[in-house]
Structure 1
Amino acid sequence: MPEPHLRASDTDRAAVVTTLDRSLADGRLDLAEYEDRATRAHAARTYGELTELTADLPRPARPTRPAPQRHHVARALYGGAWHGAWGGDLRAAWTGWLTTAVIVVGVWLVSMLATGDLQYPWPVWVIGPWGVVLLARTLGERRGGDVDRHRLTA
């Protein structure tokens, strides 16, 4: 924290209360200590007053930045285009599409058989656009995978 005599902001007080919340959840503070310190944090005017409230608590670990993901490496390791740059699993996407297709076509067929009429094939509007997008995505992933594999070996 900055110099102890400087005035603290609401954000600074909230950050200290968040630290106290974590310490309570971790069992470092009992409820009475937590309530006392949280009350004092909300009333604190300076950084020095806030620092006193967390001086005996461990500092939270600084969040580490995740390493940038190299999608072409993921493709090489996990089987080609099924794990692609969008982070999705195309196999699961196709499974979802197929499941939905079977259900809506089944409903359409049952309703046709029940009424005895030839009905408009409305399932096309449910599964058609979705299938086109999935097909484009799959083809794009496979082409992108070839380019990335070339970069991986170059």
Structure 2
Amino acid sequence: MNGRDGMRAADADRAAVADRLRVALEEGRLDLHEYDERLQRAYAARTYAELESLLGDLPPVTPAQRSTLATASAGASAVGPVAGQPDQVSGRGVTARWLADLWLPYPQVILVVVIIWAVTSLLSQDLLYFWPAWVAGPWGAVLLVRTVTGLSAGEPRRQAVERERKRQRKRAKRERKRELRRR
């Protein structure tokens, strides 16, 4: 063990390892469970050796321009554009879709609950206690916290990358089926 391995790591070192693990997750090198385990170990690490052991089986990050794989896999990139579609994995469209997926059920359910309250108030011919606030308030607060934490953690991009991987898997599966039918 050289002198650096035994030295204590700083919070910035732990954050850098966490960022590298996130990139490995987005690249598909780690599954979500393994990412979570390594992330916990990264934030619990005390020395450089402990941090380096978390990255030992991961290749170093190479910018796409200098990567030898970038030219060979440009057509099959999970982050790159899909044939006939704009690159939406990085941009406002991804964030807007993530926010819509997160928030759209909220007004729909609140509308149903308010209609139920209004109908029961009309049928009873009395203005009843506005109980839908007990549905809307806590749920809205949870959604707000989820939105802030998700945006700060890069959740829209991660979800878009995963969605694109699923599309590519489906396309590959369809191609395999077509190939089998041709034979």
The answer, yes or no, to whether TM exceeds 0.5 is: no
| TM-score, normalization by structure 2 | 0.33
- Structure whose alpha-carbon radius of gyration is higher: 1
| TM-score, normalization by structure 1 | 0.39
